[in-house]
Structure 1
Amino acid sequence: MIIIQTILINFFIIIVTCYDNDIDEKFPIKNDRVVIGVLAQYPYQDEHQFIVASYVKFLESSGARVVPVFCGRKSDYYETLLPKLNGILLPGGGSPLDKGPYAETVDLIIETSKKFYDEGKYFPIWATCLSFEKLIVHFLNGDLQWKSMCHAQNIALNLEIEKSVIDNPKSVRMFRDMDLMMPNIFDILQNNNVTPNYHRVCLELDEWNKHQELKENFQIIGHNLYKNYTFVSMIEHKKYPIYASIWHPEKIPYEFVINEHMGNFNHYLKAIMVSQYFGNFFVNEARRSCGKFDNKLDESQHLIYNYNEYRKYTGNDGKSSYEETFIFPTNVNNNGSSSLSTLTKGYYNDNYFKYRLL
């Protein structure tokens, strides 16, 4: 009887943590020259794409270099570039979630990451705010209506970690190495207002639980209590290395803009530590990827260092939410061509203002 109980206990542990137990064997950490893509944002009614510099600094501070990935390119652009990268960060911003250059590019990137994993290659994704929402829309095939206009904007909140995660941190990738990285991360997250929120819509837990596809494929890491809302804040996919937060870890160390829309979060040590924890986690995930460029020259020519002429100090204009921004012409480095019919000035969608996030 004791033997049977032992077998059952061990079997349960394997089920709960199976993808973590074998991840080091399947995808060992062996890449110390990580290059991560940051997707450029294609805003509404504009003739440019942009990347907020804090996303770049967020990754660089954890040991990665960054390559800009542009929206609305032909498929061969992504087929050539993505295998060379070690992962990608999908940003917040303001774009339609159902169609258009941003939406179609994110759909392609998510499917590419899944395909790579199924082929034995690692390609982690981190999705923030708008891209958190887009990730949900993608996995539900567009079958989600955002009804909760919680307006959790310009506010720092604590994060309520799910009890199942606290009871078994190693059941999720985000915290499997917390003993090494930051043993008190749960305490800091739950007892301090360290997560900057800048979103109008919320995905309430009640809505989440209506979708079996979400419950089966994603683990909720944490949620927030705000006003009369209980909304999902952080998730990771149970199979694929896909992670998402509705809040902005990259803002904490690098965004100091204060205006009527910005500035209501702190830069204290514990908040900085939280930002660094998740930056270190994601970059370490990218170290499992064997993607590489053809040679050093090919690599260097793709890095964001080549685009300094487009880097602008935007924190002094009174309107921007960002200290620094890379502002690119729409077709920068694109040989004058584009693959998406919607890549036109003034692309409009009726749901744009409904979905618009920061």
Structure 2
Amino acid sequence: MHSRFHCNSISDFSDNQREQDTNDSQHRVASSASSSSLSSARYSEIWNCLWTPLLISLSKEMNSAKAQSILLPGEVGLGCPRLSSSPTSDAALYFRPVIGILSHPGDGASGRLNNATNASYIAASYVKFVESAGARVIPLIYNEPAEILAEKLSLVNGVLFTGGKTKRGLYYEIVERIFKHVLEKNDSGDHFPLFAICLGFELLSMIISKDDGILERFNALDQASTLQFTEKSNIGGTVFQRFPPELLKKLTTDCLVMQHHQYGVSPERFQENPLLSSFFRILTTSKDEDGKVYVSTVQAYNYPVSAFQWHPE
């Protein structure tokens, strides 16, 4: 079982949410085809291809000089102006992106580790996923005071929304607030990416479409699946752009990606909503255990916002 980062907020918040063990608590990947299994070599290949474009998305330029000083993007040093979230070319400073990961309500273990109503957690796999790309992590505690959350957002270069189950209450409101912050930062000319996984994908679909009922039921718990690239998809500028052709082909034929969800959006419902279809373009689709097709990867047309229904971490 993965280790977890637990956070007890000082806010007095009680949400009667359901909690679940996420896929991060165990590495179980079951293929719908019993004859297909995921080899460690394929895992390594996908991992190596994913973290590189993620890092490029989070920080377009990395200073390779050895660190003489390490500062957070919002820190003000002696004689130093306030820094943009974009890395500078100052050879005297070494910057690694600082990514905020939003915590999820509960303890990630159905209350077995911490049953406090204000507890929240970040599965360690998301932290390691970001760190493997060379970035650092600041936990964004979903129910901490608004001024603390705002201060943390001023210190990070981008945000990651994790998987989970909560789709209502304060958590939904905080996701919506952070999403608006991401758009505002980019509209002001500051490159500020957002990476949403599983529940993050679902919440963005609800927020952007302005339709709480846009999600549909799918049978994709603990499922390994393929990714089918849409005919019109252009992988240039996406997380897939550095995948070698052989791996891209394998993704369409072999069950290499992890699915762990009960909800999603069908391509038909996606296209029927003008708000959603004008914000995101579909990169890939996948099939659940019953053969139903759902949208599995999207990227925004005009913002550095990417969302996976599957789990790259």
Q: Is the 8 A contact 2:141 2:149 kept in 1?
A: no
Q: Is the 8 A contact 2:206 2:214 kept in 1?
A: no
Q: CA deviation at 1:245?
A: 0.6
**Aligned-partner Cα distance in 2 for 1:207–1:75:** 35
**Aligned-partner Cα distance in 1 for 2:263–2:235:** 29
Q: CA deviation at 1:72?
A: 2.0
1:191 aligns with 253
Residue aligned with 1:84, SS? coil
How does 1:85-124 map onto structure 2 within 5 Å?
85-95=156-166, 97=167, 99-124=168-193
Q: Is the 8 A contact 1:113 1:122 kept in 2?
A: no
2:225 aligns with 157
1:98-122 deviation digits (Å, cap 9, x = unpaired): x322111111110000000010101
Q: How many residues align?
A: 216
2:282 aligns with 220
TM-score by structure 1 length?
Answer: 0.57
**Aligned-partner Cα distance in 2 for 1:91–1:142:** 21
**Aligned-partner Cα distance in 1 for 2:302–2:213:** 22
Could you say which structure has the higher helix fraction? 1
State yes or no: 1:64 paired with 2:135.
Answer: yes
1:208-246 deviation digits (Å, cap 9, x = unpaired): 121011221111110012323110001011111111111
How does 1:1-358 map onto structure 2 within 5 Å?
28-30=60-62, 31=87, 32-43=95-106, 46-95=117-166, 97=167, 99-146=168-215, 148-165=216-233, 168-170=234-236, 172-176=237-241, 178=242, 182-226=244-288, 227-250=290-313
Could you say which structure has the higher strand fraction? 2
2:4 aligns with none
Q: Is the 8 A contact 2:265 2:295 kept in 1?
A: yes
**Aligned-partner Cα distance in 2 for 1:113–1:206:** 27
Structure 2: gaps spanning 5 or more residues: 1-55, 63-86, 88-94
Q: Is the 8 A contact 1:222 1:234 kept in 2?
A: yes
Q: What is the CA RMSD across the aligned residues, in angstroms?
A: 2.1
Q: Higher relative contact order by CA 8 Å / sep ≥ 6: 1 or 2? A: 1
Amino acid at match of 2:255: N
1:304 aligns with none
The percentage of aligned residue pairs carrying the same residue is 28
1:18 aligns with none
Structure 1: gaps spanning 5 or more residues: 1-23, 251-358
Residue aligned with 2:284, SS? strand
1:298 aligns with none
Q: Is the 8 A contact 1:157 1:196 kept in 2?
A: yes
Q: Is the 8 A contact 1:161 1:186 kept in 2?
A: no
Q: CA deviation at 1:142?
A: 3.4
**Aligned-partner Cα distance in 2 for 1:62–1:145:** 33
Q: CA deviation at 1:145?
A: 3.7
Q: Is the 8 A contact 2:205 2:214 kept in 1?
A: no
1:13-70 deviation digits (Å, cap 9, x = unpaired): xxxxxxxxxxx9xx85243411111111013983410110000111111111111110
**Aligned-partner Cα distance in 2 for 1:73–1:124:** 22
**Aligned-partner Cα distance in 2 for 1:115–1:238:** 16
Q: CA deviation at 1:144?
A: 2.9
Amino acid at match of 2:202: E
**Aligned-partner Cα distance in 1 for 2:217–2:101:** 28
Q: Is the 8 A contact 2:280 2:298 kept in 1?
A: yes
TM-score by structure 2 length?
Answer: 0.64
